[in-house]
């Protein structure tokens, strides 16, 4: 029974991974790509790892999968945050259909 | 709209080929769920090819950096699927080490992109 | 000293999860390595160890923060999948400014991570002195500071203030 639930989690995670990478190709600028890709791929991979835990059970591989979930949830948003900040400081412009950019207005005088 | 239709048709045809195609002898066939997990492995490979397209094509270096970061997370999921389908538990060790290394390299490359040194 | 004890327990827990099933040889080596890590790292890992003694904080984390966070993550994924698969890409992105009252490092980190993994928002930069976060929003609904704060930050800030402050 738990392995069937694990396989459902794995297929959900595979679908999220695929949509995240599709967003990486389709969306127009760096920040939008970062949003789609980070959210979908992080939660998709965590779902795959949780499904692995449910299929394998309380063995060595299952507990390591749980440890890997904690690690991914803590670090992947930090890496996304660092990339977005670096891209904005490096002068990558927002997409031309963007509505507002408060960050550039506030950082005008500093750089 | 025309480009969207062409791309959607191509993706649906690729996924249908993946789901129909009989499974090659890559894993031990007596382990459970091998057919399902092998098809899932193909979908992860398809996602990696999409992010490789962004690495090759990306107009700025920030785009390439995003795609490299995402590729690092995808490999962890691939290692998890390999753990079940081959029954060898050391694949998940590769996943943990890969997640660590990918996070540190993303941080270092984004510092480099920002134009600062590594010691700040 | 207290923060070193906390770090020792965390390091031993991670070690025994990495070497499951634990026998006594693994545990002896793990105790020595955790002692070494706790001695070398010192006070860098846990700044305020008195927070960790409070049992109600763990209860708030498990019962209030975690269900809200998981449900928002699921909504975020469905939202991104809808926007990506739509033929005309229904996005109107922009960077807005929101205010926060949290002061501690851990609280700000958890707030930024929660904002990044919830629907349509991505934290770009934090200004700790003024308590200001710059958030990239994929579908801007409000441009001014107050209403953006009310939409994005408030539901997590209320819970996180009880946990980490």
Compute CA distances B52 → A4, A81, B16, B88, C23, whole Å: 32, 22, 22, 28, 44
* Residue-level pLDDT at A49: 93
Q: Check: CB of residue A102 under 8 Å from CB of residue C134.
A: yes
pLDDT tens string, chain C, 165 residues long: the values are: 788 888 888 899 988 888 877 788 889 999 999 999 988 887 777 777 777 778 888 888 888 888 988 898 888 889 888 888 888 888 888 888 888 888 888 888 888 888 888 888 888 888 888 888 888 888 888 778 788 788 888 888 888 888 877
- Residue A110 scores a pLDDT above 60: no
Tell me, yes or no, whether B6 lies in a domain: no
Tell me, yes or no, whether B24 lies in a domain: no
Domain count across chain B: 1
| Residues with Cβ within 8 Å of residue A54, at least 6 apart in sequence | A2, A3, A5, A6, A9
Chains contacting chain B through 3 or more C-beta pairs under 8 A:
A, C
The model's pLDDT over A51-91, given as tens digits with 9 standing for 90+, comes to 999 988 888 888 989 999 999 988 999 999 889 888 888 88
* Residue-level pLDDT at C32: 93
On the 0-12 / 13-18 / 19+ scale of CB atoms within 10 A, C60 is: middle
* Residue-level pLDDT at C84: 87
Q: Would you tell me how many other CB atoms lie within 10 Å of the CB of residue C107?
A: 18
SS3 A72: helix
Tell me, yes or no, whether B102 lies in a domain: yes
Tell me, yes or no, whether B12 lies in a domain: no
The residue ranges of every structural domain in chain C are 2-50, 54-164
* Residue-level pLDDT at C139: 82
Does the model's ipTM exceed the 0.90 cut? Answer: no
pLDDT band at B98 (very low <50, low <70, confident <90, very high): very high
Q: What is the pTM of this model?
A: 0.90
Nearest residue to A33 via CA among C65, B64, C57: B64
| pLDDT > 70: percent of chain B | 88
| Residues with Cβ within 8 Å of residue C65, at least 6 apart in sequence | C156, C159, C160, C163
The verdict on a CB contact (< 8 Å) between C17 and A64 is yes
Average pLDDT over residues A44-50: 92
SS3 C118: coil
- Residue B79 scores a pLDDT above 60: yes
Chains contacting chain A through 3 or more C-beta pairs under 8 A:
B, C
Please indicate if any CB of chain B lies within 8 Å of the CB of C89.
Answer: no
User: What's the domain range around B120?
Assistant: 33-120
The one-character DSSP state at C92 is B
* Residue-level pLDDT at A5: 92
Chain A CB contacts of B11 below 8 Å = 22
Chain C CB contacts of B51 below 8 Å = none
Chain A CB contacts of B54 below 8 Å = 24-25, 33
Given CA atoms C52, C24, A54, B45 in this order, what sign does their dihedral have?
Answer: positive
Tell me, yes or no, whether B15 lies in a domain: no
* Residue-level pLDDT at C137: 86
Chain C CB contacts of A102 below 8 Å = 95-97, 134
**To the nearest whole angstrom, how far is the Cα of B97 from the nearest Cα of chain A?**
9
CA distance C39 to C48: 17
Q: Are strands C132-137 and C121-127 parallel, antiparallel or unpaired?
A: antiparallel
Tell me, yes or no, whether B18 lies in a domain: no
């Amino acid at each position: 029974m738990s392995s069937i639930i694990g396989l459902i989690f794995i297929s959900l995670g595979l679908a999220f991974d695929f949509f995240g990478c599709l967003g990486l190709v389709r969306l127009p600028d760096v920040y939008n790509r970062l949003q789609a890709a980070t959210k979908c791929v992080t939660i998709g991979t965590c779902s795959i790892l949780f499904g692995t835990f449910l299929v394998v059970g309380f063995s060595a591989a299952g507990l390591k999968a749980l440890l890997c979930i904690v690690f991914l949830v803590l670090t992947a948003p930090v890496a996304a945050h660092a990339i977005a900040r670096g891209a904005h400081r490096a002068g990558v412009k927002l997409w031309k259909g963007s509505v507002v950019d408060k960050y550039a207005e506030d950082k005008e005088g500093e750089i | 709209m025309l480009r969207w239709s062409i791309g959607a048709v191509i993706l649906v045809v690729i996924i249908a080929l993946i789901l129909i195609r009989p499974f090659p002898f890559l894993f031990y066939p007596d382990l459970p769920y091998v057919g399902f997990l092998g098809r899932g492995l193909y979908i992860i490979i398809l996602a990696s090819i999409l992010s490789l397209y962004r690495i090759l094509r990306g107009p700025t270096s920030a785009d390439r950096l995003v795609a490299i970061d995402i590729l690092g997370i995808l490999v962890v999921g691939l290692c998890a699927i390999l753990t079940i389908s081959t029954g060898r538990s050391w694949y998940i060790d590769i996943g943990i080490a890969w997640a660590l290394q990918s996070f540190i390299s993303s941080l270092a490359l984004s510092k480099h992109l920002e134009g600062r040194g590594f010691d700040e | 000293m207290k923060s070193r004890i906390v770090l020792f327990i965390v390091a031993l827990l991670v070690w025994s999860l990495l070497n499951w099933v634990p026998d006594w040889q693994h545990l002896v080596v793990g105790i020595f390595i955790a002692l070494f890590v706790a001695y070398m790292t010192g006070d860098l890992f846990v700044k305020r160890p008195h927070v960790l003694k409070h049992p109600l904080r763990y209860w708030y984390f498990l019962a209030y923060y975690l269900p809200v966070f998981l449900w928002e993550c699921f909504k975020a994924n469905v939202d991104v999948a809808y926007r990506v698969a739509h033929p005309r890409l229904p996005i109107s992105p922009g960077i807005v400014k929101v205010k926060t009252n949290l002061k501690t490092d851990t609280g700000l980190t958890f707030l930024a991570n929660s904002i990044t993994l919830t629907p349509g928002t991505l934290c770009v930069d934090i200004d700790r002195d003024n308590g200001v976060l710059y958030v990239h929003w994929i579908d801007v609904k409000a441009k001014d500071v107050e209403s953006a704060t009310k939409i994005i930050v408030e539901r997590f800030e209320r819970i996180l203030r009880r946990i980490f402050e």
